[in-house]
Structure 1
């Protein structure tokens, strides 16, 4: 099949629906943003004109925003894979391009910082914060909790990112927050989502992120994101003797370690005298 006469931006537009078809709303939004950036960067390029060096230049240009650069590379790679499968291109120039190695985040929100941010939040956002912390789940999974997910054992969660299913068991604190959410919801009269927005629909994670960031800025708390509440939950769960891997829905303890941010030195014990020494 001949190469298309249109440019790479048009190819991205053609591939994007298939690329995002089975992704969560959060991932779709991120990919769509990156697709827009890619179309600007490669506005004058045809697909066959893009090579290793050009893509590396793109990565260099976004080196101050490594997470976005990596995501842009992912979208570009998926675009070429889609086109390659359909015979639109013959070569995928992204395969030899390396991603930036992300720096491990070790930011841990302190109780005082949590309280300060909390004081700047509207009641609905306070409920969202408490739900994120008490369940340890991602914001997208918290926002899609439905009334039908409130079971006798706890709150049922199916994680969008991994498909992992779990039930976060009831605690007095969690029951109290859910009761507050129900009271808040009576103003909206949503019959489906526990944390619904004004129109009774599921709130957009991007809007909640923005409101949280505004509250953090108003509180004077720097370098904090809504996702840090998940790390705070996992870290505190481990401190209290619970299994953070189970709470966060990970299958590998090594993944959980990324979220555990207690950097205080641990008290350890050395061995006693060996039996051989005692016998001697």
Structure 2
């Protein structure tokens, strides 16, 4: 295997040189000493930022591998999957892009992620998705034989605990009161419809009907083969009337008059959460959980709720909404309803500590008759 490109000194001209994409480039003019070698290395690093390398080349950078992977992702993955790949891979390339692909290590991933965690910008789920994206890039490169092996193989990635609760009424009220109108509108929509945040962010006026949203593209479109329908109550229909005519193709717009992005929505909620010292797991997605929780407490059956939430089966209802186990009021109400219809036995006489003895003769031998003494 050929060796990675490195600066070298040409004695005849006195220049430090390097070969990039088969072409020799001048770096620094000067003698063959440590000072000029370091200067040549710095110049080489700057040139690498300007030159794209073929991902299969020996000196390819992490950025080159990421770029090729995203082309593959756009063509072969579902739109939602590619959106996530693009979001995390671009952040990955910005942080580690200049590291040679064959030299990337889990340490580099930690160096990218740890500052985000320390600043409390990223939670467990975001960290998991970021590590997963980096691993996916290099697994793909190894599978396609661009690299001889995956340099991140064996990197640990602890799966986050699922969100096991819904947003409380008090938490939602605090978020809503401290949000500006653009954020209020989309939070209110999530809370009242059970829509996924992405479904609300991407909603266009073409998809808004009189009493419903009709979404041709959605998370389970490939499985169901049909559009997702989200029905609107009276309050939501009034909100749609108020927002109509906003001068944009999208329904929910941010403070700049543009459609919400995933990161913008996340950061807006995060800032309010930190300001009000709300629970760490409070996020926009919990508004959707709140809708599902209220539906169950209101007695909506599993199949109906699965349809309303856009799930393909009832399994997700029991898996996702396990946070109901922490809300005992509906269980207490159910027990009261059951016991209220059960007749209570009426007892008379003094209270007994032991069971009442059973009347009747005990089985066994008959007692001997007593002799007549008279």
- The verdict on a shared fold, with TM-score over 0.5 as the criterion, is yes
State how 1:139-218 maps to structure 2 within 5 Å.
139-158=197-216, 160-163=218-221, 165-182=227-244, 186=245, 188-190=246-248, 192-197=249-254, 201-218=258-275
In 2, Cα distance between equivalents of 1:55 and 1:140: 31
Cα–Cα, structure 1 residues 219 and 37, in superposed 2: closer, same or farther, change >3 Å? same
Per the alignment, residue 87 of structure 1 pairs with 145
1:59 is displaced (CA, Å) by 6.5
SS at match of 2:230: strand
Deviation by residue 1:65-91 (Cα, 9 ceiling, x = unmatched): 643443234323332343245432233
Q: Which runs of 5+ in 1 are unaligned?
A: 273-280
In 1, Cα distance between equivalents of 2:194 and 2:164: 17
2:95–2:112 Cα contact (<8 Å) kept = no
Q: Which runs of 5+ in 2 are unaligned?
A: 3-55, 118-122, 343-374
Asked which structure has the greater CA Rg, the reply is: 2
1:8 is displaced (CA, Å) by 4.2
SS at match of 1:261: helix
Which of 173, 177, 188 matches 1:115?
173
2:204–2:251 Cα contact (<8 Å) kept = yes
The size of the alignment, in residue pairs, is: 259
Root mean square deviation, CA, Å: 3.4
In 1, Cα distance between equivalents of 2:146 and 2:259: 38
Cα–Cα, structure 1 residues 251 and 103, in superposed 2: closer, same or farther, change >3 Å? same
Q: Relative to structure 2, which stretch is displaced further, 56-65 or 240-249? A: 56-65
Per the alignment, residue 70 of structure 2 pairs with 17
State how 1:1-280 maps to structure 2 within 5 Å.
4-21=57-74, 22=77, 23-24=79-80, 27=84, 28-39=86-97, 43=99, 45-47=100-102, 49=103, 54-55=105-106, 66-92=124-150, 97=155, 99-158=157-216, 160-163=218-221, 165-182=227-244, 186=245, 188-190=246-248, 192-197=249-254, 201-223=258-280, 224-242=282-300, 243-256=304-317, 257-262=319-324, 263-265=326-328, 266=331, 267-268=334-335
Deviation by residue 1:72-114 (Cα, 9 ceiling, x = unmatched): 3432333234324543223335565553122232343211221
Which of the pair has the greater relative contact order for Cα pairs under 8 Å at 6+ separation? 1
Give TM-score scaled by structure 1 length: 0.75
1:208 is displaced (CA, Å) by 2.2
Cα–Cα, structure 1 residues 214 and 60, in superposed 2: closer, same or farther, change >3 Å? closer
2:128–2:160 Cα contact (<8 Å) kept = no
Cα–Cα, structure 1 residues 73 and 212, in superposed 2: closer, same or farther, change >3 Å? closer
Cα–Cα, structure 1 residues 158 and 200, in superposed 2: closer, same or farther, change >3 Å? farther
In 1, Cα distance between equivalents of 2:182 and 2:113: 36
